[in-house]
């Protein structure tokens, strides 16, 4: 056995550690809980120069999968990690990877699939991948995550198929346990061996075409090849795992059992629950019941024979699924277990229970309950464990009356169209704006000093009358709608952040149609889509599509400069040089490597009727712009407003100072205030004319995330930021001065 | 490794279990991680540790769980600690609010960050029984320029009763010290003073307070009565959350005589605390600030920062138990509101950046 050392780490940390030891060429990724830490830990190690992996933060999981695919087709060793809807967003790419036979390793920290949105662990995501042609290994401990990551790449390269290493989100991804890793990275390198891709798009001497257009006879043959590769994997995986055992002393059969040899009742479950159930089996045995437990370490290829062998003595096998294949009478493991037992003429009774969805904990008592159900001859073939009906005769108490159109029209602000087609707003004084009822109720769970509710309130102060809101995923959504409560006092809908603008466009079209047909009263509604936490990265396509169609709605972006809801990973609008959990500072890295995205100009390029920036430090200007956007959305089409939104937690500043921090961003021209009406640009606030202009470092040093940029050793980065900010500011001034720009 | 450590007491799974109850930002997550590492690498035990999970937030309730067992035993359980051998309470605001004392037995050691006496704390917590260790961790942290979690770490190690203190000092040197050498001495000082100041006061089960069993949260809506699809029909229902526990000792005080009703406080408040109604100001009809609904104030003090006339000033909450300008939300249509103590749905999904920032930033 090779020398190993003890670490006390989580599954995510160990996946990252394995990747570091392998020293992959490329990791294309997009952060999503609970897999995000894998990229974070790799970035932290990269900052300290511990590996050379190119870590590419894509703008969404679909692109991340594309980066991985391209790199693997170019002969590189490739790594990725994702979860839940991120996996589903990338799903379309998975058969591309396997069908064209490029090996790579994807870690899936399993989590429940939306909606309604939950970030906790279950197996509803991973089961979507069963038909993708990927090998799927399942790790039940943090140790297994490490071990299987090392075996996965070797298996992948031997059979030329991509491999998923799946494990329980949180229970395995986040629990720290004592575990062993190889002391020397070379041990890992020697075990996996060198990789020489047979086909590479970079092989200029032997040019190949990857991704043919195929017709009917060939597709069938191609898929049969994939099938054969999977059958080859059935032989290769045990060999690799045996080799690994010789190296590490740790054994992973494809299917594993505990006290199952003579067991009458057996629980079959995946992941961390297997170990909990072992304890329950011991307790059942103390009562004289012959109880056992089985689990799998591979889902594809499915070890049907091994599973049958382990269940041989059982009178009853209960498959406990952490997901449901709705309408099938069980989750996917139930169905596969039934097929495996039938193929081997087993007479065992199979019960199916869905448990632990959305991260519901699995206690020893739960496993005992499942064993008891096995002993009950009358037990239902299929059921859910742990559901409850709720309180009988529960009266829903409302705390507020709905906000009527009249309530929301205090009349302190008004807008009208000028002869030149632009909109003029009058009124809108800050003191009078207090008359506007809050569409967002207090009691939400945003951090102290959070800018999101401040900015949403400022926007809504300027929008009189009826509103319907859509929030894309992000902190704004998470903190307001934590079930069974909601902060929204007006109609609200959430959709995942690839798709908010399109979803609201659908709402708007339904509104227009239904109003036209007399199904709804003849009343105006202002529709507002709210996005932030980097939602304009993954959701930019949808937002631009909406702007290009010119749908009648407002897109409001609260830009807090990072993916804050998942622990501050960099977004494309994070300032250059800022540290984040995917752009650490270290001897090899200075923070984020590229400039902040200029989203208002991108939206303006869609030639929408109204685009503007607003800041809470200029509240009257903010409110007026909201009123203007309302008028433009009502009359002409899409209006877009972007605001800079403070995040005390991740910006690393004091909550009470946030308005001054925002003011500094405006005064240093990092975030200038302007509006573009039908192509005509107006500067609303010129720090130069008001003698308020400050160097950009004066703003950066107000925040913990960028404070280092004011130090001498980072002066080059600070200068680059200043130059870019100046360039954008000068261009903006030129636009404002010239009607054709 | 020096001598072998034997756990003096274990549960039926062979584990010695610790639960930490805290509020986001106090470093309980890191403390839990360090306790796990202490077991695994400095006491020669097997160990696991994890935190309650959720979205990233500050000022919300958070839990951490640690399990230790003999080195040759596997830790099979990944669910929360139900009956802790040690319960660490990081914030006195947790006392008597959330069911933080669930699962406490007579042999449980309860370590609390508080300047109060163990007797007072027992009553505040309605503690069934157990050994209470009252440690003014905030004060010690401020004096030693350390952090609450370091002081609590020392106190918990002392309360355990079987851990040589040198082992935890070694741990802190190797982890915190390696990453932030400049902060090592003060953090060590915090751990040491935490260790030294933890004194046991034991309470027998005298029938004054009931045992609190550990139960999973159940909402009133279940599969029979909840609207389908997760649709929520109770608009604005977060208003019944009381977020006082999110405050860190300070509140805005309102001096109405100075107020010019400019509305800037309302424009900067993230928590819709200010209650403006139609009234008269300087003989003219105007929107007038009637006061604050403190149920929802998280103490961010943004309003104090923007108020141009010092009508809002920073105050220490303890010194203002009665606030005459405390008014309830003006839009409510119910006479009575049953508040639920809440932060948001907590907790940590990733920690590399946060841990670094918090340690570096020296937040206590």
Q: Say yes or no: B178 and B249 in one domain.
A: no
Q: Tokens 């780490």 belong to which residue?
A: A9
Q: Order of strands, edge to edge, in the sheet holding B86-89?
A: A4-9, A176-182, B46-51, B61-69, B15-23, B86-89, B109-113, B130-135, B200-203
Confidence of residue A37 (pLDDT cuts 50, 70, 90): very high
Q: Say yes or no: B169 and B303 in one domain.
A: no
Per-residue pLDDT tens over the stretch A235-250? 999 999 999 999 999 9
Chain B residues whose beta carbon lies within 8 Å of the beta carbon of residue A362: 78-79
CB–CB contact B79 A362 (8 Å): yes
Q: Which of A44, A388, A435 has the CB atom closest to B218's CB atom?
A: A388
Q: Say yes or no: B23 and B54 in one domain.
A: yes
Q: Count A/B contacts: CB-CB distance under 8 Å.
A: 342
Does residue B360 carry a pLDDT above 50? no
- Put simply, whether B310 touches A (Cβ < 8 Å) is no
Confidence of residue B359 (pLDDT cuts 50, 70, 90): very low
What is the radius of gyration, based on Cα positions, of chain A?
29
CB–CB contact B238 A565 (8 Å): no
- Put simply, whether A586 touches B (Cβ < 8 Å) is no
Give the list of residues 6+ apart from residue A597 with CB closer than 8 angstroms, or none: A536, A537, A572, A573
What is the CATH classification number for the domain harbouring B86? Answer: 3.40.920.10
Architecture of A255-384 per CATH?
3-Layer(aba) Sandwich (3.40)
| CA of A477 vs chain B CAs: smallest distance (Å) | 11
How confident is the model at residue A420, as a pLDDT?
86
Q: Say yes or no: B163 and B206 in one domain.
A: yes
Chain B residues whose beta carbon lies within 8 Å of the beta carbon of residue A484: 219-221, 226, 232, 234, 237
Per-residue pLDDT tens over the stretch B130-185? 999 999 998 999 899 888 999 999 999 999 999 999 999 999 999 988 888 888 99
Let me know if residue B233 belongs to a domain: no
Q: Tokens 């029909």 belong to which residue?
A: B233
Does residue B362 carry a pLDDT above 50? no
Q: Tokens 């009988």 belong to which residue?
A: A392
Mean pLDDT in chain B?
89
Give the list of residues 6+ apart from residue A16 with CB closer than 8 angstroms, or none: A37, A38, A39, A40, A41, A42, A45
Domain count, chain B: 2
CB–CB contact B354 A568 (8 Å): yes
Does residue A103 carry a pLDDT above 80? yes
Rounded-to-integer distance, Cα A607 and Cα B23, Å? 47
Per-residue pLDDT tens over the stretch A508-545? 999 999 999 999 999 999 999 999 999 999 999 999 99
SS (H, E, C) A37-86: HHHHHHHHHHHCCCCCCEEEECCCHHHHHHHHHHHHHCCCCEEEEECHHH
Chain B residues whose beta carbon lies within 8 Å of the beta carbon of residue A579: 353
Of all residues in chain A, the percent with pLDDT exceeding 70 is 100
- Put simply, whether B238 touches A (Cβ < 8 Å) is yes
Let me know if residue B325 belongs to a domain: yes
Let me know if residue B9 belongs to a domain: no
Strand duo B241-242 + B250-254: pairing: unpaired
A93 vs B179, residue with greater confidence: A93
How confident is the model at residue A299, as a pLDDT?
98
Let me know if residue B319 belongs to a domain: yes
How confident is the model at residue B358, as a pLDDT?
42
Cβ proximity of A198 and A210 under 8 Å: no
Residue B312, domain extent: 244-341
Let me know if residue B196 belongs to a domain: yes
How confident is the model at residue B54, as a pLDDT?
57
| CA of A529 vs chain B CAs: smallest distance (Å) | 19
CATH of A413-692, one of 3.40.50.970, 3.40.50.720, 3.30.565.10, 3.50.50.60: 3.40.50.970
Q: Say yes or no: B143 and B196 in one domain.
A: yes
How confident is the model at residue B53, as a pLDDT?
65
The chain B residue lying nearest A578, using CA atoms, is B353
Per-residue pLDDT tens over the stretch A405-420? 999 999 999 999 999 8
| CA of A400 vs chain B CAs: smallest distance (Å) | 5
Does residue A286 carry a pLDDT above 90? yes
Does residue A449 carry a pLDDT above 90? yes
CB–CB contact B263 A659 (8 Å): no
A98-117 residues touching B, CB cutoff 8 A:
115-116
> Structure tokens of A99?
């069908």
Confidence of residue A67 (pLDDT cuts 50, 70, 90): very high
- Put simply, whether B336 touches A (Cβ < 8 Å) is no
Chain A residues whose beta carbon lies within 8 Å of the beta carbon of residue B230: 115-116, 483
Do the interacting molecules here have an ipTM over 0.90? yes
Per-residue pLDDT tens over the stretch A145-202? 999 999 999 999 999 999 999 999 999 999 999 999 999 999 999 999 999 999 999 9
Does residue A598 carry a pLDDT above 90? yes
Provide mean pLDDT across the span A38-53: 96
State which H helix or E strand residue A4 sits in. strand A4-9
Cβ proximity of A584 and A44 under 8 Å: yes
- Put simply, whether B351 touches A (Cβ < 8 Å) is yes
Cβ proximity of A179 and A145 under 8 Å: no
Confidence of residue B348 (pLDDT cuts 50, 70, 90): very low
Q: Say yes or no: B263 and B204 in one domain.
A: no
A16-75 residues touching B, CB cutoff 8 A:
33-34, 36-37, 40-41, 44
C-alpha pair distances (Å), A304 with each of A299, A338, A381, B260: 10, 10, 21, 77
How confident is the model at residue B58, as a pLDDT?
58
Let me know if residue B79 belongs to a domain: yes
Does residue B95 carry a pLDDT above 80? no
Does residue B305 carry a pLDDT above 80? yes
A388-417 residues touching B, CB cutoff 8 A:
388-392, 394, 396-402
Per-residue pLDDT tens over the stretch B30-79? 899 999 999 999 999 999 999 886 544 556 678 899 999 999 999 999 99
How confident is the model at residue B97, as a pLDDT?
60
Per-residue pLDDT tens over the stretch B258-304? 999 999 999 999 999 999 999 999 999 999 999 999 999 999 999 99
Does residue B361 carry a pLDDT above 50? no
- Put simply, whether A133 touches B (Cβ < 8 Å) is no
CB–CB contact B302 A655 (8 Å): yes
Provide mean pLDDT across the span A608-622: 98
CB–CB contact A399 B345 (8 Å): no
Q: Say yes or no: B199 and B251 in one domain.
A: no
How confident is the model at residue B364, as a pLDDT?
29
A298-357 residues touching B, CB cutoff 8 A:
none
CB atoms inside a 10 Å sphere around CB A8? 21
Say whether A255-384 and A4-204+213-248 share the same fold. Answer: yes
- Find, among B58, B134, B123, the residue nearest to B96 by Cα: B123
Q: Say yes or no: B142 and B284 in one domain.
A: no
Chain B residues whose beta carbon lies within 8 Å of the beta carbon of residue A364: 13, 77, 79
Q: Say yes or no: B331 and B352 in one domain.
A: no
Confidence of residue B347 (pLDDT cuts 50, 70, 90): very low
How confident is the model at residue A434, as a pLDDT?
98
Chain A residues whose beta carbon lies within 8 Å of the beta carbon of residue B219: 390, 483-484
CB–CB contact A484 B357 (8 Å): no
Angle between the N-to-C axes of helices B148-160 and B165-174, in degrees from 0 to 180, rounded to the nearest 10 = 150
- Put simply, whether A439 touches B (Cβ < 8 Å) is no
Q: Which of A8, A616, A619 has the CB atom closest to B40's CB atom?
A: A8
- Put simply, whether A514 touches B (Cβ < 8 Å) is no
Q: Where are the domains of chain A?
A: 4-204+213-248, 255-384, 413-692
Domain A4-204+213-248 matching CATH 3.20.20.450: the answer reads no
What is the CATH classification number for the domain harbouring B254? Answer: 3.30.70.20
CB–CB contact B353 A567 (8 Å): yes
- Put simply, whether A614 touches B (Cβ < 8 Å) is no
- Put simply, whether A430 touches B (Cβ < 8 Å) is yes
Mean pLDDT in chain A?
97
Q: Say yes or no: B146 and B267 in one domain.
A: no
Does residue B92 carry a pLDDT above 80? no
- Put simply, whether A197 touches B (Cβ < 8 Å) is no
**Which residue stretches of A265-408 are H helix?**
273-286, 304-310, 332-343, 364-375
**Least confident among A9-18, A248-257, B270-279, B312-321:** B312-321
Per-residue pLDDT tens over the stretch A361-399? 999 999 999 999 999 999 999 999 999 999 999 988 899
Provide mean pLDDT across the span B74-93: 93
CB–CB contact A443 B229 (8 Å): no
CB–CB contact B53 A174 (8 Å): yes
- Put simply, whether B221 touches A (Cβ < 8 Å) is yes
Confidence of residue B343 (pLDDT cuts 50, 70, 90): low
The chain A residue lying nearest B40, using CA atoms, is A178
| CA of B34 vs chain A CAs: smallest distance (Å) | 10
Does residue B3 carry a pLDDT above 80? no
Q: Say yes or no: B31 and B171 in one domain.
A: yes
The chain A residue lying nearest B343, using CA atoms, is A445
Q: Say yes or no: B205 and B63 in one domain.
A: yes
Chain B residues whose beta carbon lies within 8 Å of the beta carbon of residue A41: 352
Whole-model pTM: value is 0.96
């Amino acid at each position: 056995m090779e020398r190993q050392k003890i670490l006390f780490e989580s599954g995510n940390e160990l996946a990252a550690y394995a990747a570091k030891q392998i020293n992959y060429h490329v990791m294309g990724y997009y952060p999503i809980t609970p897999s995000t830490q894998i990229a974070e830990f790799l970035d932290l190690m990269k900052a300290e120069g511990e590996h050379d992996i190119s870590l590419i933060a894509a703008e969404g999981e679909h692109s991340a999968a594309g980066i991985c695919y391209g790199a693997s087709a170019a002969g590189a060793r490739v790594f990725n990690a994702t979860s839940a809807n991120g996996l589903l967003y990338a799903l379309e790419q998975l058969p591309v990877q396997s069908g064209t036979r490029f090996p790579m390793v994807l870690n899936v920290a399993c989590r429940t699939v939306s909606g309604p949105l939950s970030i906790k662990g279950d197996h509803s995501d991973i089961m979507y991948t069963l038909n993708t042609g990927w090998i799927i290994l399942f790790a039940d401990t943090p140790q297994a995550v490490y071990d299987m990551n090392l075996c996965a790449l070797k298996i992948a390269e031997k059979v030329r198929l991509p491999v998923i290493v799946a494990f329980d989100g949180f229970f395995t991804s986040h629990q720290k346990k004592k575990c062993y890793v190889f002391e020397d990275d070379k041990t890992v390198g020697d075990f996996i061996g060198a990789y020489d891709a047979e086909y590479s798009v970079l092989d200029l001497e032997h040019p190949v075409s990857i991704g043919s257009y195929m017709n009917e006879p060939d597709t069938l043959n191609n898929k049969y090849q994939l099938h054969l590769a999977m059958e080859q994997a059935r032989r290769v995986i045990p060999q690799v795992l045996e080799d690994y055992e010789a190296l590490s002393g740790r054994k992973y059969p494809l299917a594993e059992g505990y006290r199952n040899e003579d067991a009458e009742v057996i629980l079959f479950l995946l992941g961390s629950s297997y170990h909990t159930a072992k304890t329950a089996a011991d307790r059942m045995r103390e009562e004289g019941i012959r109880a056992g437990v089985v689990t799998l370490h591979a889902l594809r290829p499915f070890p049907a024979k091994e599973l049958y062998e382990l269940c041989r003595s059982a009178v009853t096998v209960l498959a406990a699924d952490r997901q449901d294949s709705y309408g099938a009478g069980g989750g996917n493991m139930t169905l596969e277990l039934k097929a495996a037992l039938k193929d081997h003429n087993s007479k065992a009774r199979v019960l199916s229970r869905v448990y632990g969805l959305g991260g519901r904990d699995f206690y020893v008592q739960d496993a005992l309950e499942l064993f008891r159900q096995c002993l009950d001859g009358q037990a239902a073939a299929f059921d859910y464990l742990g559901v409850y009906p709720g309180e009988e005769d529960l009266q829903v108490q409302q705390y507020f009356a709905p906000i009527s159109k009249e309530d929301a029209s205090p009349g302190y602000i008004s807008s009208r169209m000028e002869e030149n087609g632009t909109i003029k707003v009058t009124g809108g004084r800050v003191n009078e704006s207090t008359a506007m009822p809050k569409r967002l109720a207090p009691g939400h769970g945003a951090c102290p000093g959070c800018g999101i509710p401040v900015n949403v309130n400022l926007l809504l102060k300027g929008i009189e009358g009826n509103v319907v809101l859509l929030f894309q995923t992000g902190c704004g959504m998470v903190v307001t709608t934590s079930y069974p409560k909601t902060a929204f006092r007006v109609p609200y809908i959430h959709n995942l952040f690839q798709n908010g603008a399109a979803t609201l466009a659908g709402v708007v079209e339904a509104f227009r149609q239904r109003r036209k047909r007399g199904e709804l009263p003849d009343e105006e509604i202002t529709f507002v889509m709210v996005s932030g936490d980097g939602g304009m990265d993954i959701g930019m396509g949808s937002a631009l599509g909406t702007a290009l169609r010119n749908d009648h709605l407002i897109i409001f972006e609260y830009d807090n400069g990072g993916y804050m809801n998942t622990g501050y990973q960099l977004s494309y609008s994070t300032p250059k040089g800022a540290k984040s959990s995917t752009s650490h500072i270290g001897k090899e890295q200075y923070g984020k490597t590229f400039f902040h995205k200029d989203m208002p100009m991108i939206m303006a390029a869609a030639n929408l009727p109204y685009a503007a920036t607003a800041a809470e430090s200029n509240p009257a200007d903010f409110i007026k712009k909201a009123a203007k956007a309302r008028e433009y959305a009502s009359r002409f089409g899409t209006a877009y407003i972007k605001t800079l939104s403070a995040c005390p937690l991740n910006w690393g500043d004091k909550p009470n100072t946030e308005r001054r921090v925002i003011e500094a961003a405006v005064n240093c021209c990092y975030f200038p205030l302007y509006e573009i009406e039908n192509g005509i640009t107006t500067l609303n606030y010129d720090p130069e004319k008001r003698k308020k202009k400050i160097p950009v470092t004066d703003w950066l040093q107000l925040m913990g995330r960028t404070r280092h940029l004011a130090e001498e050793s980072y002066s080059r980065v600070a200068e680059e930021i200043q130059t870019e900010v100046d360039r954008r500011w000068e261009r903006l001034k030129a636009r404002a001065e010239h009607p054709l720009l | 490794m020096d001598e072998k450590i034997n756990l003096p007491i274990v549960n039926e799974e062979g584990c010695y279990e610790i639960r930490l109850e805290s509020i986001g930002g106090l470093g309980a997550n890191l403390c839990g991680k360090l306790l796990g590492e202490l077991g695994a690498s400095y006491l020669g035990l097997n160990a696991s540790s994890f935190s309650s999970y959720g979205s990233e937030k500050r000022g919300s309730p958070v839990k951490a769980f640690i399990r230790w067992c003999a080195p040759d035993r596997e830790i099979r359980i990944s669910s929360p600690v139900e009956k802790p051998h040690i319960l660490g309470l990081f914030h006195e605001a947790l006392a008597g609010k959330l069911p933080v004392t669930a699962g406490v037995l007579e042999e449980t050691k309860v370590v609390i960050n508080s300047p109060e006496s163990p007797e007072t704390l027992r009553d505040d917590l309605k503690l069934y029984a157990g050994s209470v260790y009252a440690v003014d961790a905030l004060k010690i942290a401020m004096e030693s320029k350390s952090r609450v979690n370091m002081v609590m770490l020392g106190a918990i190690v002392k309360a355990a009763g079987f851990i040589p203190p040198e082992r935890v000092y070694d741990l802190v040197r190797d982890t915190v010290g390696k990453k932030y050498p400049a902060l090592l001495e003060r953090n060590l000082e915090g751990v040491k003073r935490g260790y030294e100041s933890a004194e046991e006061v034991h309470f027998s089960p005298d029938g004054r307070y009931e045992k609190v069993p550990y139960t999973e949260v159940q909402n009133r809506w279940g599969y029979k009565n909840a609207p389908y699809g997760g649709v929520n029909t109770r608009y604005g229902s977060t208003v019944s959350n009381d977020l006082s526990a999110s405050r860190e000792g300070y509140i805005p005080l309102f001096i109405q005589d100075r107020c010019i009703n400019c509305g800037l406080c309302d424009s900067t408040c993230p928590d819709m605390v200010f209650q403006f109604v139609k009234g008269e100001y300087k003989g003219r009809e105007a929107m007038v600030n009637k006061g604050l609904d403190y149920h929802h104030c998280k103490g961010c003090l943004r309003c104090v920062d923007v108020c141009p006339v010092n009508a809002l000033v920073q105050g220490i909450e303890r010194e203002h138990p009665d606030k005459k300008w405390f008014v309830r939300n003006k839009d409510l249509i119910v006479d009575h509101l049953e508040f639920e103590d809440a932060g948001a749905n907590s907790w940590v999904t990733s920690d590399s950046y946060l841990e670094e920032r918090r340690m570096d930033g020296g937040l206590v």
